[in-house]
Structure 1
Amino acid sequence: MAEGDLEDFAAALNAAGIDGWINAMGLRLTRATRDEVEAELDIGPQHRQAYGVVHGGVHAGIVETLASIGAALHALPEGRSVVGIENHTSFLRAVRSGRLRATARPLDRGRRTQVWEASVHDEEGRLCATGRVRLLVLEPDAVLAGQRPGAPG
């Protein structure tokens, strides 16, 4: 592994504010390397569904976001980008308030796909959700929804 591979990009990504979903949800990255991505989220009314618990989409979004960031940090040095093609998230414990903490790590990083696994815990360290995301690695000349990934749009 080359020096710098474990560089932490969390502060730079938080400051960049380029992901609308992350900003809308209030997700804060606390660590972002090519081998591990961590984040936290303070639960507010915008995160709850009608029963007053955190919406499953929030958990699934956290899982996909952390996996995507880690996979991208691994692919970008080669000029590649990644897109999620499968997200399987299981909801294990309902949570209504407090802070969620999540971590994602790679299970497999192949030439064409990556698979990442993530977990979401409540303030007391109890597992609330777990998920696995499969991502497609795109070549530098790939077009996604009519333009190259990362192009202004």
Structure 2
Amino acid sequence: MAEAPPEDLAAALNAAGLDGWMTAMGLQLTRATRDEVEAELTIGPQHRQAYGIVHGGVHAGIVETLASIGAALHALPEGRSIVGVENHTSFLRAVRSGRLRAVARPIDRGRRTQVWEVSVHDDDGRLCASGRVRLLVLEPDAVLAGQRAGAPG
């Protein structure tokens, strides 16, 4: 018997608008499962630094966001939360306009940590940035910045 494909929660997550950074940047999920997260961003003036190219923080933010979503979709069914503890993003090609497309996939999903890899491509399919994020898996009763980790702020 074939295993059912993983549930794609992209539309629900986009509609929920839970992540202020994603909303501010205009990052739209196109696929969100526990095994793969994809997103697109149309480049605008708010994404560019002084030289007119996409700011490295935008690339790093995309990397962190997609890895965090994927890791959370894996951990939430067990009542656990996720926080990033390390983000290493490399900027490989400057981009000024068009659309960025990114995809995140897990490298390792352990009981206490997860590691995800993310690639960001331009309209021509060229790799612009790549990153690896290590995330900590928090127990249901964990406190983070003075609140229970899973509790909305």
Is contact 2:92-2:129 (8 Å) kept?
yes
Deviation by residue 1:74-95 (Cα, 9 ceiling, x = unmatched):
0000000100000000000000
Question: Is it true that 1:83 corresponds to 2:78 in the alignment?
Answer: no
2:116 alignment partner in structure 1: 116
Give the Å deviation of 1:151.
1.5
How many pairs align?
A: 152
Give the Å deviation of 1:152.
3.0
TM-score (norm 2): 0.97
Which structure 1 residue ranges, 4+ long, deviate > 4 Å from structure 2? none
Letter aligned with residue 138 of structure 1 = L
Q: Provide the alpha-carbon RMSD of the alignment.
A: 1.3
Distance (whole Å) between structure 1 residues aligned to residue 137 and residue 20 of structure 2: 22
2:125 alignment partner in structure 1: 125
For residues 7 and 17 of structure 1, do their structure 2 counterparts lie closer, same or farther at Cα, with a shift above 3 Å needed?
same
Counterpart of 2:75 in 1: which secondary structure? helix
Give the Å deviation of 1:150.
3.0
Counterpart of 2:62 in 1: which secondary structure? helix
Is contact 1:113-1:135 (8 Å) kept?
yes
1:60 alignment partner in structure 2: 60
Counterpart of 1:35 in 2: which secondary structure? coil
Give the Å deviation of 1:104.
0.2
Is contact 2:140-2:150 (8 Å) kept?
no
Give the Å deviation of 1:148.
1.1
Structure 2 residue runs without a partner (length 5+): none
Counterpart of 2:58 in 1: which secondary structure? helix
Deviation by residue 1:73-126 (Cα, 9 ceiling, x = unmatched):
000000001000000000000000000000000000000000000000000000
Letter aligned with residue 74 of structure 2 = H
Is contact 1:26-1:42 (8 Å) kept?
yes
